[in-house]
Amino acid sequence: MKTTTLTTLMTLLISASSHAAFTTSVPEQDAFFDLLRAHCGKAYQGQVVSGAKAGDGFSDKTLVMHVRECSDDQLKIPFHVGDDHSRTWILTKTGAGILLKHDHRQQDGSDDESTMYGGHTNHRGWANAQSFPADDYSKDLFTRLGFPQSNGNIWHIYIYPEVFSYQLTRDGRDFKVDFDLSKPVALPPTPWGYQ
């Protein structure tokens, strides 16, 4: 299956699941979602605060997150790394929690080989913090692409009045970026593959 078809299919599945009776969401997840959505239309600069290493492609770049598209049940947050506009975080209410997916694109807008990985909440979490263990699709993808160590990935998102944090943890890996919510920055370019 071509990756563009895969992304289209994943988007349809995410959209379909988001129209499930998401009234079953728990208060902590609703509050978390609303705290993020309150920043819709704004962009913020960040920096790597853990897991930095020379040549990692992040530590020496300008990092900007942009809460770009918002609805009652989905948020799209591009994560710009210098001149690389390939990454978009997609958070979707599913009726059983929140799904996080990483939409990765090539500069021409086509899907990257490694795209739409992520995971679903498996507990209530907190209004300020939610965690997303890697789902089966992601584990299959990571194994096929030759980095099965990523099967243990857990992504964490934290939102506080002045800080938004994105963190990836697994055995032997702890990567975290903090974004300063007290100082909005100029909006970045449109992410690759979006209009």
What single string gives the DSSP state of each residue in the chain? Answer: --HHHHHHHHHHHHHHHHTS-GGG--HHHHHHHHHHHTTTT-EEEEEEEES--TTSSSTTS-EEEE--EE-SSEEEEEEEETTEEEEEEEEEE-SSSEEEEEEEB-TTSPBPSS-SEEEE--S--BTTEEEEEB-HHHHHHHHHHT-GGGGG-EEEEEE-SSEEEEEEEETTEEEEEEEEEEEEE---PPPTT--
Q: How many distinct structural domains can be found in the chain?
A: 1
**Quick check: 15 pLDDT over 80?**
no
Instruction: Tell whether 191 is covered by a domain.
Output: no
Cβ 153 vs Cβ 133: under 8 Å = yes
Q: Could you tell me the CATH number of the domain that includes residue 142?
A: 2.40.128.20
Residue 125 lies in a domain: yes
Distance CA(161)–CA(143), nearest Å, equals: 38
> Does 98 reside within a domain?
yes
Contact in structure between 143 and 21 (CB atoms under 8 Å): no
| Backbone phi and psi for residue 18, each to the nearest 5 degrees, phi listed first | -70, -20
pTM, entire model? 0.88
pLDDT digits (tens, 9 = 90+) for 109-166: 999 999 999 999 999 999 999 999 999 999 999 999 999 999 999 999 999 999 999 9
Average pLDDT over residues 24-32: 90
Query: What value does the mean pLDDT take over residues 60-66?
Result: 96
Look at residue 52 in the predicted model and tell me its pLDDT.
Answer: 87
User: Is residue 63 predicted with pLDDT exceeding 70?
Assistant: yes
Q: Find where tokens 């290493």 sit.
A: 53
Does residue 190 fall inside a structural domain?
Answer: no
Residue 156 in domain: yes
143 lies in some domain: yes
Query: For position 18, what pLDDT does the model report?
Result: 42
Boundaries of domain holding 178:
3-185
Residue 116 lies in a domain: yes
Does a structural domain hold residue 50? yes
Position 174 pLDDT exceeds 70? yes
Instruction: Work out the pLDDT band at 24, boundaries 50, 70, 90.
Output: low
